Amino acid sequence: MSSEWRSYSLGDLAKFKYGKFLAKSELDDSGFDVFSGYGVVGYLPTYQFNDPQLLIVCRGEGGTGDVKMSPPKCSITNLSIVISPCEEKVAKKFLYWSLKACDTHRLRTGSAQAQIVIGSLEKLRLVIPTDRAEQDYLAGILSALDDRITLLRETNATLEAIAQALFKSWFVDFDPVHAKQQGIAPEGMDDATAALFPDSFEESELGLVPRGWRVSRLTDEVERITKGTTPTTIKRPFVACGINFVKAESMTDDGQFIPEKFAYIDDETHELLKRSQLKAGDVLISIAGTIGRLAVMTEEFLPANTNQAVALIRPFQDRFPSGLISRFLQRTESQQLMGERVVQAVQANLSLGSLSDMKVVVAPAEVINKLYSAGLAQIDASKVMNASRIRTLATLRDTLLPRLISGQLRLPESVPSATCTEA
């Protein structure tokens, strides 16, 4: 497959329109999505666009210059510019990937707040194939990888929803104990798992708990709770590459790591910061600035270390596994309790003491380990495997993108895709 390649200004390939200003008071709690470019910020009873729209974030903190596709049936706010391709010249998906391959962040202007204006976009130049079939072919390769990543993320979200529901049923609401107390076989489990639950309750400082279970402080059920140190406080610099150094911003709200946001330290600094050297299974929780963001360390990111804005909880895995600790801390009630204990100084701060003193209901060690293995261990293993696949596919996609666009890589029946310059 080959076709003629031509240079166009983006203004020759598309039309542009700023999104609509919408006050918070205009937004509803349900309805059709209102998309800012950063995410869904509210809902309206009607929508501007039926199909997903190509857009570029044109102002705001941290994302100006990002190229995005909106959800379908949505409205778009004035934080983004909608890019409407001239379909006879360029396919929307192809233009999306072409712009993703460009450094659109360099179009930013402004000092107090970065912004991108339509005039700068119009001057951006692209070299594209004139054959629409070729455009579709190249865009399809990248979109197929993106679709697979999206599917894996959705799978992990579903798995986590199942895990959260199971955790709540077994370790918060004690549904199997209630069932056995009434002489009913617990639902959704085999006889061996059901036998691990008692058939009655006893009083505790937190109210009724399963007989034989107990209330304990978090710190008494784990190996240790500590936090890291910023290397500069011991006069050690960050380096361009080396040991992964995890910060609060390196973790997502849904419990994943963002490797692109790791800092790096050298081996000597890692040795000096022994207290916060991480191991697989360590539960990390942000305790400064953004409070309560969680992730569980895996082998994939080791060796690694962390700073003082992140608490390190090292479990006894055979006594109170990582998957139970993280879900206990993710509960709305736990997050609210941590919020109440936050000290407001230069930035919000949760002390290690407050975290350590949180009360948990725990079963005997031999029971809790069997329950975790029976209900949650396989879910957690699947999530870790899927997360690794996501990173592998994302790396492949991001590696292919500039090579397809620049012509460094030619796939069967394909020639290079778009390159871009400024006029």
Per-residue pLDDT tens for 360-374?
Answer: 999 999 999 999 999
Residues 220 and 126 in one domain: no
DSSP for 163-205, written as a single string: HHHHHIIIIIS-HHHHHHHTT-PPTTS-HHHHTTS-S-EEEET
Q: Place 414 in a pLDDT band, splitting at 50, 70 and 90.
A: very low
Sign of torsion over alpha carbons 387, 392, 398, 401: negative
Q: Which whole number is the average pLDDT over 122-139? A: 89
Strand partners, 124: 422
Tokens of 10: 């983006």
- pLDDT tens digits along 52-94: 999 999 998 878 999 999 999 999 999 999 999 998 999 999 9
Note whether 236 and 354 are same-domain residues: yes
Burial of 295 (0-12, 13-18, 19+ CB in 10 A): buried
Q: Is residue 290 part of a domain?
A: yes
Query: Quick one: 242 and 113 in the same domain?
Result: no
- Tokens for 25, please give them: 């008071």
Final residue of a domain: which of 340, 362, 384?
A: 362
Whether residues 225 and 351 fall in one domain: yes
Q: Are residues 116 and 251 in the same domain?
A: no
Indicate which CATH number applies to the domain containing 84. Answer: 3.90.220.20
Q: Which stretch of 8-12, 73-77, 125-129, 306-310 has the lowest confidence by average pLDDT?
A: 125-129
Residues 222 and 97 in one domain: no
From 322, 338, 362, give the residue that closes a domain.
Answer: 362
Q: How far is CA 393 from CA 77, 151, 152, 221, 386, in A?
A: 31, 12, 10, 38, 10
User: Using DSSP, how many helices (H) and how many strands (E) does the chain show?
Assistant: 12, 23
Question: What is the chain's Cα-based Rg?
Answer: 26
Partners of 204 in beta bridges: 207
Is residue 60 one of the residues assigned to a domain?
yes
Let me know: does 242 contact 301? Beta carbons within 8 Å: no
Whether residues 250 and 114 share a domain: the answer is no
pTM for the structure as a whole: 0.84
One domain for residues 124 and 247? no
* pLDDT at 11 exceeding the cut of 70: yes
What is the domain range of residue 122?
5-130
Q: Is residue 372 part of a domain?
A: no
Angstrom distance (rounded) from CA 409 to CA 413? 12
Decide if 411 is inside a domain. no
* Gap between the Cα atoms of 240 and 405, Å rounded: 27
pLDDT for position 419: 52
For residue 336, tell me if it sits in a domain: yes
Q: Is 138 part of a structural domain of the chain?
A: no
Domain count, the chain: 2
Within this chain, do residues 23 and 126 fall inside the same structural domain, yes or no? yes
Burial class (CB in 10 A: 0-12, 13-18, 19+), 30: exposed
Beta bridge partners of 61: none
* Across 195-200, average pLDDT: 96
CA 347 from chain centre, in angstroms, equals 23
In a domain, 404, yes or no: no
| 191-218: b (≥16 Cβ within 10 Å) or e | eebbebbbeebeeeeeeebbeebeeeeb
Whether residues 13 and 122 fall in one domain: yes
Instruction: Output the average pLDDT for the chain.
Output: 91
Final residue before a domain boundary, out of 335, 362, 389: 362
pLDDT over 90 for what percent of the chain?
80
Mark whether 108 and 233 lie in a shared domain: no
Q: Which of 402, 422, 421 is nearest to 138 (CA)?
A: 402
Residue 100 lies in a domain: yes
